[in-house]
Amino acid sequence: MPTRLFTCKALRRSALLASAAAIVAVGPISAVRAQYIYGDGGDLSMRREARLTPEQQEELFRAKKSWKRQSFNRRISILEKEKRCIGQANNPQSYKDCVQKKRESRRALNADYRAYINPVRRRVGLPPIEDKQKGRQKGDRKGRRA
């Protein structure tokens, strides 16, 4: 009697697992996560901004330009601090600490930008910019890496 490499029961079980994995992989994801993963949030934002009147576009442009000018020194400071920190790093952990400090500084800067620009966006009829981290649990890295 020939030996079977796979039993019928084992084949059914593996087929069930494979189909479950496929369902999870192609299942629906939230719009925010889709924008984050596929990067289509920027295109949508550009289309919305294109529908604004010239006056609304001008107001949004002036606000963005003003923010860039106001935050310039702060952005430079973040980069200079990171450069000094990395230069002084003696081991992988201190290097990671430098990267983490920069990340925290950038998050704070981005939060300040949202606080600055969202009232303008509301005035011109655009939805507010939301935090990419919103809705994600700490340690939940789904969508960032394959």
pLDDT digit string, tens, across residues 55-114: 999 999 999 999 999 999 999 999 999 999 999 999 999 999 999 999 999 999 999 999
Could you tell me if residue 22 is inside a domain? no
pLDDT at 11 over 70: no
Which residues, 6 or more positions from 136, have their beta carbon under 8 angstroms from its beta carbon?
none
- Global model pTM greater than 0.75: no
Find where tokens 């973040």 sit. 78
Residue 32, domain member (yes or no):
no
Domain assignment present for residue 142? The answer is: no
Tell whether 8 is covered by a domain. Answer: no
State which residues form the domain around 98.
Answer: 53-123
63 contacts: CB under 8 Å, gap ≥ 6:
116, 117, 120
Give the tokens for residue 112: 């300040």
Selected residue with higher pLDDT from 15 and 29:
15
Q: What pLDDT sits at residue 52?
A: 86
Tally of structural domains, the chain: 1
Nearest to 97 by CA among 109, 83, 85: 85
pLDDT at 138: 52
Mean pLDDT of the 116-132 span: 91
Domain annotation covers residue 72: yes
pLDDT of residue 24: 53
Q: Where are the alpha helices (DSSP H) in 27-53?
A: 31-38, 41-50
